[in-house]
């Protein structure tokens, strides 16, 4: 595992990771530190560095919406990863399948998808944080 | 256009942009500054901030492999974009359709795609830069 971790170019200890589902939809763009990436490799489930909790975090640990790793790709200069996953629920804390649910329409971002779940039931902490 | 630019969360003047083709394949992860993004909106062709040239750069300006914008999405916290494009040639300077052409196989990254073009003919400057 060390060999794989050392093959990557970490910027200030982090690497950008694009997460897609099995149908190639881009779900989210996250950052992993070495510990999150190691846990992802070890467990086969996405762990990322949570900017809210400020530590490695298993995706779905509180929501139940885990992401099982299907395959991992690296880009040409070793500073970005593309991980395909099988999600067990919507990836976005706003209730959507993925985070990119708004599309540019003229001068405005317009909602282009329907939510998969009610975020107030899954992420009650965000109600208070706004 | 200012309204759209101001709606985004720029980190040190930059935003991460995932580029996909019309078949949802992730081609590359790039960074745009406000000027690159404005030029992308104005022209309908991807401009990104080139870390090599250290300035905004039209993708394909030297290679001819441009990327025509099909649609633009934004993520839930306004700090990442997902742009679908119609590419006129391989996106990666190593000759591949996209930059994520290597897949993790056990302890090694293994090439999982065939190149679309000979990079020595398109990007001669990279021969000398290694």
Average of per-residue pLDDT across B10-26: 98
Please give the interface size between A and B, counted as residue pairs whose CB atoms are below 8 Å apart. 92
Average of per-residue pLDDT across B93-106: 96
Q: Is the pLDDT of residue A92 over 90?
A: yes
8-state DSSP, A24: -
Query: For chain A, what is the domain count?
Result: 1
Q: Is the pLDDT of residue B62 over 90?
A: no
* B76:A82 CB<8 A: no
* B104:A16 CB<8 A: no
Q: Residue B118 maps to which CATH number?
A: 3.10.20.810
For A25, which residue in chain B has the nearest alpha carbon? B24
pTM: 0.94
Average of per-residue pLDDT across B40-62: 93
Q: Which pLDDT does position A108 carry in this prediction?
A: 94
Q: Is the pLDDT of residue A130 over 70?
A: no
Average of per-residue pLDDT across B67-80: 98
Collect all residues of chain B within an 8 Å Cβ-Cβ radius of residue A104: 4, 71-74
Q: Is the pLDDT of residue A124 over 90?
A: no
Collect all residues of chain B within an 8 Å Cβ-Cβ radius of residue A109: 4, 7, 74
Q: Which pLDDT does position A126 carry in this prediction?
A: 61
CB B119 within 8 A of CB B126: yes
- What confidence tier does A51 reach under pLDDT thresholds 50, 70, 90? confident
Q: Which pLDDT does position A95 carry in this prediction?
A: 95
Q: Is the pLDDT of residue A9 over 80?
A: yes
Which of B44, B73, B119 to mutate to probe the A interface, most A CBs <10 Å? Answer: B73
Query: In this predicted complex, what is the ipTM?
Result: 0.94
For B3, which residue in chain A has the nearest alpha carbon? A107
Classify the C-alpha dihedral B16-A75-A15-A94 as positive or negative. positive
Q: What are phi and psi of A35, to 5 degrees?
A: -65, -45
Q: What are phi and psi of B40, to 5 degrees?
A: -65, -45
CB atoms within 10 A of CB A29: 22
CA distance B100 to chain A (A): 4
Q: What are phi and psi of B112, to 5 degrees?
A: -115, 5
CA distance B29 to chain A (A): 7
């Amino acid at each position: 595992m060390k060999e794989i971790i050392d093959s990557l170019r970490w910027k200030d200890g982090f690497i950008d990771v694009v997460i897609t589902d099995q149908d190639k939809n881009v779900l989210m763009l996250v950052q992993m530190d070495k510990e999150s990436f190691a846990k992802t490799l070890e467990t086969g489930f996405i762990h990322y560095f949570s900017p809210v909790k400020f530590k490695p975090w298993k995706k779905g640990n509180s929501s139940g919406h885990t992401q099982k790793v299907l395959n991992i790709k690296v880009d040409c200069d070793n500073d970005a990863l593309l991980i395909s996953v099988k999600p067990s629920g919507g990836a976005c804390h706003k209730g959507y399948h993925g985070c990119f649910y708004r599309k540019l329409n003229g001068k405005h971002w317009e909602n282009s998808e329907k939510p998969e779940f009610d975020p107030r039931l899954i992420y009650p902490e965000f109600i208070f944080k706004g």
